[in-house]
């Protein structure tokens, strides 16, 4: 089966920060897990390069928007392998193939009767590239996100008849309870629709950095319409000669942050309906990573640099921390101290030490060969149905809950070591069978958990499975007792060394 997951495409007027890494790693965890289930995965990320903020940033630096975009897009593209992100393609909206397809699709929306000429007036935030309603404004006509004072703007442009989709969107939300996840965001989108949809401006007259409106060369498309369409256009040209649209559309998951809910949960399905495409199956909305209670963002100057973290602690540590510390879907605070504490207690101690001890005991007591004994039934109850439950959680993109399921078992195995005290068993030749069972159960339990953990900790999982002599990542192998004893274990440098 095909599985298509996307991240938001990132604005190129800022350098990548942890918030961007967060959306991307979340999508990567889903992509990796689905590959382990044998799905044919297409995982898309990229950069959103048009619009006023980019044009403004370029002007103040004295370069063309395209030059700025080329330079900054590279920072995002380079970030992916550093985070161990396995995207299948990286789309840039300044790619002429994207632009041509945006024109083609929006021409169709126009020809289908959903576009008309009008005048727009409103409070415009250039940083959001969006108009704000009166109720959204903060005191002093400020943007609720960027806190800058907004100007009232008026211009003639083309409109998209969003209101024509009122009933279809209401029906979508009545019939497809998991269209938007988690529930809180579903409710938010549904009540936005219930208040009555207003048409939205589809083009900009003052701007030149964008995709030209094919029926009116004096305007460019509003950056959000150009950007949203990336999810479809990329499929058309990511693999020249291959029709990925029919293979992968509709998308299974668009992973997004809560600030862009309206665009994905309301505008996007309406636009797809207007153009005659099927709707995505799910939009998963995560919360914000906060530092000292504020959203981390370039304009607020409180960013945590993911590259610095990765350089010092490795990408696994960052991936683990983000999804363990903050429940995926909720807001949550992150901090350097919190990061270090989890690195120490969970990665180095709970998991890393368990792995080292287990391998060391197999080497010391059994010459490096995992005994061919039965697996201890005392642990069976902890592993029964685990892979199934974990998969169901990831089907709903509950990345934190799924990780917690596994971590409970990591702790269970640590307790098991203490209960069984293999070092005592090793002193008593009569208890050699018990020691066999203990070592076999530990290696097998560790193997199963590590297969499940692979999407979160791809580096460590790969190293540990290789050291256990059982490198298979297939999720069907993630059953306690499935793999036979007899493997030769290898060397393993500490997975999470002291820093």
Which amino acids are annotated catalytic? Answer: 17, 20, 125, 128, 143, 146, 295, 298
Q: Which residues contact 428 (CB under 8 A, 6 or more apart)?
A: none
> Which of 147, 480, 109, 457 lies closest to 268 in space, CA to CA?
109
* Contacting residue, 85, 236, 260, 453, with ligand MSP by CB under 6 A: 260
Using Cβ positions, the residue closest to ligand MSP within the complex turns out to be 257
Asked if 259 is part of the footprint of ligand MSP (rule: CB under 6 A), the reply reads yes
User: Cα–Cα distance between 339 and 317 in angstroms, integer?
Assistant: 8
- In the block, residue with structure tokens 């990320």: 45
- Provide the pairing of β-strand 180-181 with 282-286: parallel
**Nearest residue (CB) to ligand MSP, 48 versus 84:** 48
Q: Which residues contact 436 (CB under 8 A, 6 or more apart)?
A: 366, 371, 372, 373
* Contacting residue, 3, 11, 179, 456, with ligand MSP by CB under 6 A: 11
Closest approach, Cβ 62 to ligand MSP, in A, equals: 23
Q: Which residues contact 257 (CB under 8 A, 6 or more apart)?
A: 8, 19, 22, 23, 285, 286, 287, 288
For the stretch 171-187, what's the b/e string if a residue is b when 16 or more beta carbons lie within 10 angstroms of its beta carbon? ebbeeeeebbbbeebbe
Asked if 22 is part of the footprint of ligand MSP (rule: CB under 6 A), the reply reads yes
Asked if 50 is part of the footprint of ligand MSP (rule: CB under 6 A), the reply reads no
DSSP code per residue over 309-352: HHHHH-HHHHHHHHHHHS-BTB-EE--HHHHHHHIIIIIIIIII
**Nearest residue (CB) to ligand MSP, 70 versus 344:** 70
**Nearest residue (CB) to ligand MSP, 157 versus 230:** 230
CB-CB contact of 267 with 224 (8 Å): yes
Asked if 72 is part of the footprint of ligand MSP (rule: CB under 6 A), the reply reads no
CB-CB contact of 287 with 430 (8 Å): no
- Please choose, out of 133-141, 295-303, 435-443, 444-452, the segment that lies near ligand MSP by the rule CB under 6 A: 295-303
Q: How many residues bind ligand MSP (CB under 6 A)?
A: 21
User: Cα–Cα distance between 138 and 350 in angstroms, integer?
Assistant: 46
| Structure-block tokens of residue 202 | 């589809």
Residues 203-232 interacting with ligand MSP (rule: CB under 6 A): 227-228, 230
Asked if 256 is part of the footprint of ligand MSP (rule: CB under 6 A), the reply reads yes
* Contacting residue, 46, 210, 257, 314, with ligand MSP by CB under 6 A: 257
Asked if 25 is part of the footprint of ligand MSP (rule: CB under 6 A), the reply reads no
CB-CB contact of 274 with 189 (8 Å): no
Asked if 237 is part of the footprint of ligand MSP (rule: CB under 6 A), the reply reads no
**Nearest residue (CB) to ligand MSP, 235 versus 386:** 235
**Nearest residue (CB) to ligand MSP, 94 versus 297:** 297
**Nearest residue (CB) to ligand MSP, 10 versus 248:** 10
Asked if 173 is part of the footprint of ligand MSP (rule: CB under 6 A), the reply reads no
Asked if 289 is part of the footprint of ligand MSP (rule: CB under 6 A), the reply reads yes
Asked if 34 is part of the footprint of ligand MSP (rule: CB under 6 A), the reply reads no
Helix (H) / strand (E) containing 450: helix 432-453
Asked if 288 is part of the footprint of ligand MSP (rule: CB under 6 A), the reply reads yes
Residues in contact with ligand MSP by the rule CB under 6 A: 8-11, 19-20, 22-23, 48, 227-228, 230, 256-257, 259-260, 288-289, 295-297
């Amino acid at each position: 089966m095909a599985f298509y997951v996307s991240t938001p495409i990132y604005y190129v007027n800022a350098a990548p920060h942890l918030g961007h890494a967060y959306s991307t790693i979340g999508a990567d965890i889903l992509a990796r897990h689905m590959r382990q289930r044998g799905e044919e995965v297409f995982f898309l990320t990229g950069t959103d390069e048009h619009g006023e903020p980019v044009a403004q940033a370029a002007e103040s630096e004295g370069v063309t928007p395209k030059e700025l975009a080329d330079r900054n897009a590279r920072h995002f593209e380079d970030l992916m392998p550093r985070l161990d992100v396995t995207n299948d393609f990286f789309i840039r909206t300044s790619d002429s193939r994207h632009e041509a397809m945006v024109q083609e699709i929006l021409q169709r929306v126009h020809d289908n009767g959903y576009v008309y000429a009008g005048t727009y007036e409103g409070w415009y935030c250039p940083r959001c590239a969006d108009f704000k309603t009166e109720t959204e404004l903060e005191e002093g006509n400020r943007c609720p996100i960027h806190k800058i004072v907004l100007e009232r703007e008026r211009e003639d442009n083309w409109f998209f008849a969003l209101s024509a989709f009122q009933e279809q969107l209401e029906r979508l939300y009545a019939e497809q309870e998991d269209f938007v996840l988690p529930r809180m965001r579903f409710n938010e989108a549904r009540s936005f629709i219930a208040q009555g949809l207003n048409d939205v401006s589809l083009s900009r007259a003052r701007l030149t950095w964008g995709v030209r409106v094919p029926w009116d060369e004096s305007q460019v498309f509003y950056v959000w319409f150009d950007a949203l369409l990336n999810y479809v256009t990329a499929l058309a040209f990511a693999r020249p000669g291959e029709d990925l649209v029919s293979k992968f559309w509709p998308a299974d998951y668009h992973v997004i942050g809560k600030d862009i809910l309206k665009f994905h949960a309301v505008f996007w399905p309406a636009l797809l309906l207007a153009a005659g495409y099927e709707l995505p199956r799910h939009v998963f909305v995560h919360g914000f990573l906060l530092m000292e209670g504020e959203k981390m963002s370039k304009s607020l100057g409180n960013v945590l640099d993911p590259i610095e973290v990765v350089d010092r602690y490795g990408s696994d540590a960052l991936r683990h921390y983000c999804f363990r510390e903050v429940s995926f879907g909720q807001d949550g605070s992150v901090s350097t101290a919190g990061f270090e504490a989890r690195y120490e207690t969970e990665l180095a101690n709970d998991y890393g030490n368990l792995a080292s001890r287990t391998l060391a005991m197999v080497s010391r007591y059994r010459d490096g060969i995992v005994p061919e004994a039965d697996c201890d039934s005392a642990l069976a109850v902890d592993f029964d149905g685990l892979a199934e439950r974990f998969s169901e959680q990831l089907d709903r993109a509950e990345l934190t809950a799924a990780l917690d399921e596994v971590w409970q078992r990591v702790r269970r195995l640590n307790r098991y070591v203490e209960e069984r005290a293999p070092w005592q068993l090793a002193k008593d030749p009569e208890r050699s069978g018990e020691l066999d069972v203990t070592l076999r159960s530990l290696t097998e339990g560790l193997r199963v958990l590590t297969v499940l953990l692979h999407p979160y900790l791809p580096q460590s999982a790969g190293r540990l499975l290789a050291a256990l002599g059982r490198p298979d990542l297939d999720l069907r192998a993630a059953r306690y007792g499935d793999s036979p004893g007899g493997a030769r274990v290898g060397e393993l440098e500490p997975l999470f060394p002291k820093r």
